[in-house]
Each structure stands twice: as C-alpha cells, then as structure tokens.
Chain A
C-alpha cells in the first residue's frame, strides 16, 4: 500500500517562483536538428523507454523522431507552445490516440521493456496501468461514489462492498477530497465545483492503482485556488506514481516537476532537470519560450 503523505510540501521544496534565465550565458544551440535533443533525455531507471517516435495525422507528421526516457516515480512536465505536439505525444503513452482513425504511431515505445504498440498488446490492461486525467474535468453523470468506484468495478478489483468502500475512501483521501465529500458520496458529481471535479477525476484515475498517471493540462480549466490544490496533490502523488504532466504554465512546470521537456513544432528540443531548464536552458528556442518571447 502506498503510504499517505499528508504533510503539505513546503515552499522550500519548490523551485523558485520567479525563475529568470541567466542572460549573459547564451545557450549554445540555436537550430533544431531532427532527432537531436539537448540536455538529459535518457534515464537509468526508465519506466518508459521511447525511441524514434513519430506520429502522423493522415499526411501530417505531428511528432518528429522523438526519443525520451521517463524514469520511475518521477514527475516530468511537457511544455511548449500550442500545437507543438506535447498532448499528442502524451496520448501515445496509453494509446488514447487509437480512437482517432487517421492517427498512426511509428517508433519504439516501451513500458517496463514491453512494447506499447505491439498489436498483441492489450490496450485495456495498458490503460489500467497508465491512467489519465484530462484537460477539462470529465466526471461521469453519476454519483461521486460511482465515479470513483467505476474503475475498480469494471476491472473486478474489489470482491466485497467493503473492499470497494475502502478503495473509494483511500482514493478520495489521496486526492484530498475525502473531507469535502464524505457526507455526500451519493450526490451527483456534475454538481461539484470545477476544482473538486478535477480532483475527483484524479481520484477516479488512482482508484485502479495505476503505475503512471498522465495529466493533460489538468489545471487549465481551474481557478488559481483549485490549481494550487491540484498541484499539491501532484506533489504528494509523485511518491508512489510516475507522473507525466502537460502544462501551458511554466510556473506550474517549475513548481511540480523534476524534469521538464520542451517541445517545439513536433520536435523534442530540450529535456533537463527542471531548475536547469528554467535557469540555464541549453537551447536558444527553450530560452525564447521561457522568457516569453513566444508561446
């Protein structure tokens, strides 16, 4: 069982809010070379091993030859301007692109040394291991309890009602929602506030005990207070899960992630420790982006 860490991460653990890149030290790299990523794209203890990944939408090449490792129990943030392919890339990790007819994925994508896109690979099992939280909160129009219990029920994770109750309570606790909803588990989930809904979706995702949680701009539809709560939650969850988060907000990436990957027009330009990316980016484009020259 994952140990619950209820202490709030202190300010000191977070990278500095006002990260300003060092201006006098100009980044060495200025052009994008396909397939080349500056920084540290590879890791020793890799949960995901992704090599030469390309994604096509019909004729369009949305992801261009990306190679990356995602380490066990790390929080990695994908940043980059809109349309740079970060969400597309994220959706490859649990094959959510499958439902789009014209989408094709090439290259080698491995989860624990096993190929994700192997035709024999079971997508249901994969998704049970790699959960996902979406941009807009999407609770089912059911009760709060049924939302969280949905995953365990379909996968047969609980034999008894009491087991299910435990899973629901644990998941809601982990999502920091238990105290707010314990008295109204039967209330319909669509009546909650946006922030609560998104935390419910996180609770729903972790109720099936995934190994990885993919988050696609989880806070983009939330107000600052709700965002802070979700970010706190991410920090806690990082103890037991591998988390991949796509975000539009550089501050958020800086606050929650261990490593940050910068995407640009389908290329993975730079990957490095988060504070390195934000203080001394090695690539010209990364610097331009984080200093707000485009985005």
Chain B
C-alpha cells in the first residue's frame, strides 16, 4: 500500500477506535447509572482509544517511510558480487541510480551487466516486500494498540487527564521541531563541511583568491586541479549586498520617516501596502527583472557613455536586490520610529523645533539602535538572497570592486555546484556544503546580533 493511503487508513482506524471507545465507555456507565458516574466524558474515552490506536501506528509508519529507502539501498549494494561493490560513495550513488533506472524501466536491461539486472530485480522485490511489511506492521500495530486501549477503558480512569497530557506532549513535540530543524541544518552542513576540509585545506579555502571548482574527471588528467579559495565569492557577495543596502537603506528609511511623520492617514493607507507588495513579489520575479531588463539596460547605458560594463553586472543584481529589501528596511524602521514615545516629539516641538529638526536630532538618534538592528536583518537577507543573483549575477569568480563587472556570490555557487549532475562525494559538492556552512554562520551571527539589539531597544521604551 502507498504510504499516503496507509496514512489515510490509519486515520480511519483511529476514528473507528474513537467510536468503539466512546461506545464502550457508555456501555460501562450504564450499569453505574449513566455517564455521570464516569470519571470523564465519553468523548475523552473515545479520544483516548483513538490516540492509542493512531500514535504508535503513525510513528511506525513515519520511521519506516523515512528509513526504508536507505536500508533497501544498503541491501541491494550488499547483494552485488564482491568485485562490483563500489569503493566510495560517489560510485555507489552512480551505481544505485543505474540500478533504479533499470528497475523503473527507464534503462533497458540489455544495456547493462547481468549483476545489475539482477540487482534491479532484487530492488523491485525488496521494495514490494518492504511495502507489504510496512502495511502489515502499521495495521497490526494500530489494531493491537487500539484494542489494548479499548480494553483498558474503566469508568474510574481519568481519560480527560490522559488525553490532555498526550496532547500537551504532542504540542511540545511540534514546538521542539524548531530545535530539530536547527540541529538538522547544523548537522547536514557540518558533516559535509568536515569531509570537505579533509580534501581541501583550511588555508586554501579561507585565504585562497581563486575559485574554479573543477576536479579532475580522471586521475591522470592534468591542469584540472580546481581551486577552492572563497575570497572572490566572499567579496562578490559583499559587493552585491553593499549595492543592495545602498539602495534599500536610504530609500527605505526616508520613506518610513515620511510615512510615519508627515504623511496623512490616507496617503499612509495607500502607500504602505504598495511598499509591502515589493516584499511579497517572489525573488524569481526580481531575478527575471534584473537579468532581462535591468542588466541589459545598464550595459547599454554604460556603452553609450563609453564605459565598459558586463551584461551581468553586480550593479544590476545589487540594485534590484535593493528594491526587494526596501520594504524590510521601511517596515522595521517604521516600527522602531513609532516606538519612540510621543512625549519626546512633543518635548522637541514645544521648544520650537521644526518637524525635520525633531526627526533628525531627537527621534532618529533615539531610534538609531533599533534601526541598526533592522539594517542588520536586511543585510542578512541580502547575503542569503539566492534567485536574483543566480539569474542576474555571473558565475565568474572575479576579485573586483567594480560594480560594472561580473562577480559571483556564495549562494550562486551553492546552486551551481548542486544542480548539475554529479556524484555526491566530490570536492565540488562538498564545497557547496562548506559554503552553505559559512553562509549559515554569517547570517546566524547577523540575526542574533540584530535581534538582540532590537529586543534591547524595545525594552528601553516599554
């Protein structure tokens, strides 16, 4: 049975268990003189039976579905003749995809060696067995646990308390998923990053000034060593983010100031949602705009001025990214400026200060820490932005500060290294994870600092 269908079936079984539990609690209550003599309402006895039935079955189902793929892979590889067992993970994944292609019929069996055809057969058989086993196991767990739960219904047990505490634990598990996600991110990048540093030295990665992640296809190939110095990527990312911030900070900040201090209600109610629309536009649309409209425009404009500009200039990607970030800066600044107490405004205005003097000399300095926090958050956004740069910035890892040249960024390289067809074990793929680790650390740092500043600022005026 398909996992999705099995899931539905389990839910149906849980509903049945609910009905049976409900009925049994009523039946037990009858001789005692009605449901008033139960410790909890029949609803809770039903719910308790449903939880007994559903939860263990769902746990089994989730674990099985999560690990069956890997287990089957290991079994299939293990069944190959010893001389064919791949030495490293890279060739293993190639072999596996070959086998599964044969199994799915995409690759005619005539094209591959006999052991692979056998392995494909075995794969099919294992998949079928696994599915059957899973179905049997899940159903039997559901029925058995449900039956036990049903059997143990007694008028004296407090079903409500039990159901509520199970629910509470479920809620906790949902909240704890955030920790699990963070751990998942850390382990998934850290593990591959360590393996990357087994192949490439720290010094080369952090201080190397050249990036060309080609690894030799054959061992005897020359001049295909590949270089993994992240400095050009780092500077490229910084260049594009800096251009973005140069656009977003003044525009976002000044519009926030105008909207909160000068604009009347009607203007605000029209302009604010329009500005926020900029934040709702998908990044791929900005990328499209940057790559196909802004970049050609900039290079044409530069050409007409007699300057040479790349058709994938950092300026195009950075400028469009800046537009995307405007609403982040403006809405964060707006919050912060509005948090400055009205009494400070009154104090300044009562001394005869003009609105702009009040803004520049009292409110802005008071709001500055909060605004800085907002800008840091926006910067972390710019550094991690992917689609705009993938589409509008280039792949050439130039070490330059000229905004009219092409640069590449950390995110562009991650996407490029991981979207091609390649085995999972090369320095190239591992490099993507190392870059991901750097990106994660950098944005994490910025976010932690920014959130701390913003929180401190809020406390100051609460």
The chain A residues found within 8 Å of chain B, CB to CB, are: 94, 96, 99, 101, 124-129, 131-132, 134, 136, 138-142, 150-151, 154-155, 201, 204-205, 208, 214
Contacts and interface: CB of A to CB of B under 8 A. Distances in A.
A128 B366 contact: no
A150 B348 contact: yes
17 contacts: A96-B346, A99-B345, A101-B264, A124-B354, A127-B349, A128-B352, A132-B350, A138-B343, A138-B344, A140-B362, A150-B353, A150-B361, A151-B352, A154-B354, A154-B357, A204-B351, A208-B352
A125 B344 CA distance: 19
Given A128-B352, A138-B341, A141-B366, A154 B347 contact: no
Given A138-B341, A140-B347, A154-B357, A101 B352 contact: no
Contacts of A126: 352
B354 A134 contact: no
A96 B351 contact: no
Contacts of B218: none
Contacts of B354: 124, 154
Interface string B339-375: 0010111111111111001000110011000000000
Contacts of A151: 351-353
B352 A142 contact: no
Residue from the set A94, A124, A136, A155 with the largest chain B CB neighbour count within 10 Å: A124
Interface size class, chain B? 20 to 34
Contacts of B70: none
A138 B342 CA distance: 9
Contacts of B353: 124, 150-151, 154
Contact of B265 (A101, A125, A142): A101
Contacts of B348: 140, 150
A205 B346 CA distance: 12
Given A138-B344, A154-B361, A205 B350 contact: yes
Contacts of B344: 138, 140-141
A142 B349 contact: no
A214 B352 CA distance: 13
Contacts of B362: 140, 150
Nearest to A135: B343
A138 B351 contact: no
Nearest to A201: B347
Given A101-B265, A154-B357, A96 B349 contact: yes
B346 A134 contact: yes
Nearest to B265: A101
A131 B350 contact: yes
Nearest to B347: A138
Contacts of A99: 345-346, 349
A127 B366 contact: no
B143 to A, nearest CB: 68
A126 B353 CA distance: 11
A127 B346 contact: no
A151 B265 CA distance: 30
Contacts of A150: 348, 351, 353, 361-362
A147 to B, nearest CB: 9
Nearest to B264: A101
A138 B265 CA distance: 26
A124 B365 contact: no
A140 B351 contact: no
A128 B361 CA distance: 17
**The 4 nearest A-B residue pairs measured at CB:** A128-B352, A132-B350, A138-B343, A127-B352
Interface in B241-300: 264-265
A141 B349 CA distance: 16
Contacts of A205: 350-351
A131 B347 CA distance: 9
Contact of A96 (B264, B350, B365): B350
Given A124-B354, A154-B352, A205-B350, 17 more contacts: A96-B349, A101-B265, A124-B352, A124-B353, A125-B352, A127-B352, A129-B352, A132-B350, A138-B347, A139-B347, A140-B344, A140-B347, A141-B344, A150-B362, A154-B351, A154-B357, A204-B347
A126 B352 CA distance: 7
A8 B348 CA distance: 30
Contacts of A142: 365
Contacts of A134: 343, 346-347, 350
Contacts of B350: 94, 96, 127, 131-132, 134, 205, 214
Nearest to A132: B350
A136 B341 CA distance: 11
A239 to B, nearest CB: 22
Contacts of B349: 96, 99, 127
A128 B353 CA distance: 8
Contacts of A136: 343
Contact of B352 (A140, A155, A201): A155
A131 B361 CA distance: 18
A216 to B, nearest CB: 9
Nearest to B351: A151
A142 B354 CA distance: 19
Residue from the set B350, B351, B353 with the largest chain A CB neighbour count within 10 Å: B350
A141 B365 contact: yes
Contact of A138 (B346, B357, B361, B365): B346
A294 to B, nearest CB: 29
A157 to B, nearest CB: 11
Contacts of B361: 150, 154
Contact of A208 (B351, B357, B365): B351
Interface in B424-447: none
A214 B347 CA distance: 12
B429 to A, nearest CB: 52
Nearest to B368: A141
A99 B343 CA distance: 12
Contacts of B365: 141-142
Nearest to A125: B352
Nearest to B261: A99
Contacts of A128: 351-352
